[in-house]
Amino acid sequence: MHKKVLGILGVLTFSLYIFLVVTTSSQAHNKTLRQHRFSGQHAAFFEPLNTSALDGKSSSLISEFVRRRRLPTCLIIGFSKCGTTALRGFLTLHPHIVSPLREIRYFTMNFVRGLLWYRNQMPLSTAAQITVEKSAGYINTPVSIERIHQMNAGVKLVVMVRDPITRLQSEYARCVSRNISRPRVPSFQVWCGGAAHTSKVLRLIDYATPLDNVYRLFRRDQVLVLSEELLEEKPLDVLEEIEAFLDLRQAFSKTDLVYNKEKGFFCFNTSSTKYPKAKASIVLNEKTGCLGSHKGRVHPEIGDKFLKELTTFIRPFNQRLFHLIGRTFTWANFKNHRVGVRARREIVEDLLSPVAPQGRRQRQTAATREERVAPVRGGYTRSPPGGEIR
């Protein structure tokens, strides 16, 4: 009887201990965030912050297992129309990655709401999980890059780029779909401003200038630049590269994604055991597991003369980008700029036709991975930083 009472007392004391540890650590955490909210409203007076508290890390062993909302430690910061939504969605298939359903745009539009608000937009996670947020406009706003750095100087950044001409077409297709009720939509060339060198074109094709801003504040090993074309054609390669970048164990599998002929893209395999987790993090077509009709719009045709003009104008911008990142994407196959969904489907189907060897892939180094990538649209080769551009 005496032993039983002692046992109950022991359990009660232990429960009280757990309760105290959890509440004090979360109160301290909220206090840091409230302080940060104040400085967030007065960005010029930022104080250095306790990043371990911001990351949701705590010395307490118990808090490692507590599910709570944590600030992101990886951000997909751009570029718009470069496959950022598909990438973010695919990443949530990983058991150690969580991500909010939509773009939060905290560092651009919602900064005045404060860091506590930002953290509250995040899904629940354990300390073993990485929270990834994507807002494709961050990279184009220098102040948002500074704010990200102030939040966490050790954050990892993923940047998606795309053949600039396809990006122009993609932006045009978005504008057309928004203005669908208007009687006349300007032609692609008129929409571009009539000439290759207009400010609209410049803003969309120059990846190097915004990336330069990022490299001014962040170390190179914190920034991963990937191409939309590779995500479209070989998504597993891209996902494995991000796993390595984030030091995560290998969890993506080729059975997680299926190529959808109608859509012309890889979509989520709705029968995969990982699908229910991903489904909670991204808006998908229930039946197909694909992104909605706002992804994969038909691109406009470009007249030969204007295409030539664009190509010549864009080339030095691409070269500057490749120099900066030390990696080359083969964006020279301009015949594909005329593609709509049908032509893209043919390209990917061509790539899919040789049957891949069965079995689990070995984790590959970036170098061996790149050797394996065929130099088709979106394939790429590595060149030394600042080295010769082929």
> Considering 4, 31, 57, 81, which one is annotated as catalytic?
81
What is the CA 66 to chain-centroid distance, rounded?
A: 26
Question: Does residue 144 touch ligand PPS according to CB under 6 A?
Answer: no
Task: For residue 170, say whether it is annotated as part of any ligand binding site.
Answer: yes
Q: Tokens for 291, please give them.
A: 């992104």
Task: For residue 181, say whether it is annotated as part of any ligand binding site.
Answer: no
Structural contact between residues 176 and 241, judged by C-beta atoms closer than 8 angstroms: no
Residue 327: Cβ within 10 Å count: 20
Tell me: cis bond preceding 265? Omega within 30 of 0 counts. no
Q: Tokens for 5, please give them.
A: 């009472």
Give percent helix, percent strand, percent coil of the chain, each to the nearest 5: 50, 10, 40
Structural contact between residues 265 and 296, judged by C-beta atoms closer than 8 angstroms: yes
Task: For residue 296, say whether it is annotated as part of any ligand binding site.
Answer: yes
Q: Which x/- pattern over 304-343 shows residues binding ligand PPS (rule: CB under 6 A)?
A: ----------------------------------------
User: DSSP letter string over 30-85?
Assistant: HHHHHHHHHHHHTGGGPPP--HHHHTT--S-TGGGG--EE---SEEEEE-TTSSHH
Q: How far is the CB of 178 from ligand PPS (least distance, A)?
A: 11
Task: For residue 135, say whether it is annotated as part of any ligand binding site.
Answer: no
Structural contact between residues 289 and 258, judged by C-beta atoms closer than 8 angstroms: yes
Closest residue by Cα to residue 106 from 87, 125, 119, 91:
119
Q: Which of 58, 84, 140, 144 binds ligand PPS (CB under 6 A)?
A: 84
Alpha carbon distance 390, 387 (integer Å) = 9
Task: For residue 297, say whether it is annotated as part of any ligand binding site.
Answer: yes
Q: Which of residues 271-310 bind ligand PPS (CB under 6 A)?
A: 291, 295-297
Q: How far is the CB of 290 from ligand PPS (least distance, A)?
A: 6
How crowded is the C-beta side of 18, counted as CA atoms within 13 Å? 10
Q: Which of 118, 138, 191, 265 binds ligand PPS (CB under 6 A)?
A: 265
Task: For residue 299, say whether it is annotated as part of any ligand binding site.
Answer: yes
Closest residue by Cα to residue 21 from 68, 61, 70:
61
Structural contact between residues 133 and 99, judged by C-beta atoms closer than 8 angstroms: yes
Q: How far is the CB of 245 from ligand PPS (least distance, A)?
A: 18
Question: Does residue 240 touch ligand PPS according to CB under 6 A?
Answer: no
Q: Which of 49, 74, 86, 157 binds ligand PPS (CB under 6 A)?
A: 86
Q: How far is the CB of 173 from ligand PPS (least distance, A)?
A: 5
Question: Does residue 99 touch ligand PPS according to CB under 6 A?
Answer: no
Q: Which is nearer to ligand PPS, 36 or 337 (CB)?
A: 337
Q: Which of 97, 136, 211, 302 binds ligand PPS (CB under 6 A)?
A: 136
The SS3 assignment for 382 reads strand
Alpha carbon distance 18, 10 (integer Å) = 12
Q: How far is the CB of 306 from ligand PPS (least distance, A)?
A: 18
Annotated catalytic residue 305: no
Task: For residue 162, say whether it is annotated as part of any ligand binding site.
Answer: yes
Question: Does residue 83 touch ligand PPS according to CB under 6 A?
Answer: yes
Active-site positions read 81
Residue numbers of the site for ligand PPS (CB under 6 A)?
Answer: 80-86, 136, 170, 173, 228, 231-232, 265-266, 291, 295-297
Point out the annotated binding site for 3'-phosphoadenylyl sulfate: 162, 170, 295-299
